[in-house]
């Protein structure tokens, strides 16, 4: 069974309710219906009820999904939860919202409405970003859902599904942070590494081997950017002494066994890294898109980490299959959060 199939099977074992704020988008409709038909989730689509209902019914099984209640449609402009959500926003955003009218205007925003459904327990997780920008998606998640207790930073990662990994078989690795934190300092970079390793282990069941990436391997170059990576490495080792982590290293030293043995002899991570931490967003975003567009990798994400409840982003270039897979990832985050309570 492939790693992706394992994620889907895990989601089937503990289905969750996922709200999709961009409910009119054909990719979200198709991906959501696929999630329902595979038994991994029930979904709520946000937007004009009549238009979305018609679009759903055009799909095979759409009418049955609506009748079963596995697919529901809510228009934030005309919702029975408006008063509840408005009162809650006025409470926890006291001093930051001008008045009730301003709070109601927020509730009418599908991104905010979806986040409030999650915050107040009307849904388990939310997934957007096919139309909205990452900036809008993350800003609303931070404001309405908030950071998890103990989280040092909210960041993101991609699950990169490599069709032919290092052993010629499908392999899943994590690239982080490729979607959110522009220029992390050493403390933030260490937090990103620790969080990414934990999520990799939770989602794949494999031991994380973390490579802290740079344009230098073990002192082959001297620069402030290299020093930042080494400082982050030291911080991460201090905070998580059992974590298998090493750096600084170039991508080839982290990923290729022969190069790793040559450039970083004796490292338990070099050549075997499955969690690859990029030094900034320039490197990470460019790197994942090269792996996706030229290398043929499937990029699932950006998956947000460090939030109080699951809320994830989509690439605006996503397709329906990406939506389905990201629903599966979000459902697994719900499952893991529930199991840790």
Pick the CATH number of 3-146+307-339 from 3.60.20.30, 3.40.50.2000, 3.40.50.300, 3.40.50.10950: 3.40.50.10950
Read off φ and ψ for residue 70, nearest 5 degrees: -70, -25
CA distance 107 to 90: 11
CA distance 270 to 253: 6
Instruction: Beginning with the edge strand found earlier in the chain, give each strand of the sheet holding 298-305 in spatial order.
Output: 244-249, 209-213, 275-277, 171-176, 155-162, 298-305
Tokens of 330: 């979000």
pLDDT tens across 280-291, in order?
A: 999 999 999 999
CA distance 11 to 299: 19
Looking at residues 111-138, what average pLDDT do you find? 95
Looking at residues 97-122, what average pLDDT do you find? 95
Using a pLDDT cut of 90, give the percent of the chain over it: 83
Q: CATH 3.40.50.10750 spans which residues of the chain?
A: 155-293
pLDDT band of 1, cuts 50, 70, 90: low
Reference 239, options 201, 189, 289; nearest CA is: 189
pLDDT tens across 149-201, in order?
A: 888 889 999 999 999 888 888 899 999 999 889 999 999 999 999 999 999 99
Q: Give the dihedral sign, CA 340/205/278/179.
A: negative
SS3 call for 217: coil
Q: What is the chain's mean pLDDT, rounded?
A: 94
pLDDT of residue 97: 86
Q: CATH 3.40.50.10950 spans which residues of the chain?
A: 3-146+307-339
Position 46 pLDDT exceeds 60: yes
pLDDT tens across 62-87, in order?
A: 999 999 999 999 999 999 999 999 99
pLDDT tens across 189-201, in order?
A: 999 999 999 999 9
pLDDT tens across 209-244, in order?
A: 999 999 999 989 999 999 999 999 999 999 999 999
Name the β-bridge partners of 59.
none
Position 5 pLDDT exceeds 90: no
Looking at residues 116-121, what average pLDDT do you find? 97
CATH top-level class for 155-293?
A: alpha beta
pLDDT of residue 245: 98
> What is the pTM assigned to this prediction?
0.87
Using a pLDDT cut of 70, give the percent of the chain over it: 99
């Amino acid at each position: 069974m492939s790693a992706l199939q394992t994620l889907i099977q895990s989601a089937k074992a503990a289905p969750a309710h996922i709200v999709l704020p961009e409910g009119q988008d054909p990719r979200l409709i198709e991906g959501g219906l696929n999630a329902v038909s595979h038994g991994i989730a029930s979904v709520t689509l946000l937007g004009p009820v009549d238009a979305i209902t018609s679009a759903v019914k055009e799909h095979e099984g759409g009418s049955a999904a609506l009748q079963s209640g596995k697919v529901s449609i809510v228009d934030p402009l005309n919702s029975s939860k408006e008063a509840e959500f408005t009162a809650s926003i006025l409470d926890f955003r006291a001093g930051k919202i001008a008045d009730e009218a301003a709070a109601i205007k927020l509730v009418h925003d599908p991104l905010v409405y979806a986040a409030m459904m999650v915050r107040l327990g009307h849904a388990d997780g939310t997934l957007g970003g096919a139309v909205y920008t990452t900036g809008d998606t993350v800003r609303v998640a931070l404001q309405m859902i908030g950071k998890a207790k103990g989280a040092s930073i909210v960041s993101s990662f991609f699950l990169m599904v490599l069709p032919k990994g290092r052993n010629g078989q499908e392999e899943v690795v994590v690239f982080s942070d490729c979607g959110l934190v522009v220029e992390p300092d050493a403390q933030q970079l260490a937090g990103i590494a620790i969080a990414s390793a934990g999520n990799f282990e939770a989602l794949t069941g494999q031991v994380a081997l973390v490579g802290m990436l740079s344009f230098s391997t073990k002192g082959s170059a001297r620069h402030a950017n290299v020093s930042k990576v080494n400082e982050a490495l030291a911080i991460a080792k201090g905070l998580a002494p059992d974590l298998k982590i090493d750096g600084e290293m170039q991508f080839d030293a982290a990923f290729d066994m022969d190069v790793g043995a040559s450039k970083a002899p004796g490292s338990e991570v070099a050549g075997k890294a499955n969690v690859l931490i990029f030094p900034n967003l320039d490197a990470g975003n460019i790197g994942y898109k090269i792996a996706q567009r030229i290398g043929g990798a499937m990029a699932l994400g950006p998956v947000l980490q460090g939030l109080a409840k699951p809320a994830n982003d989509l690439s605006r270039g996503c397709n329906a299959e990406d939506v389905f897979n990201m629903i599966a990832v979000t459902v697994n985050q719900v499952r893991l959060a529930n199991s840790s309570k």
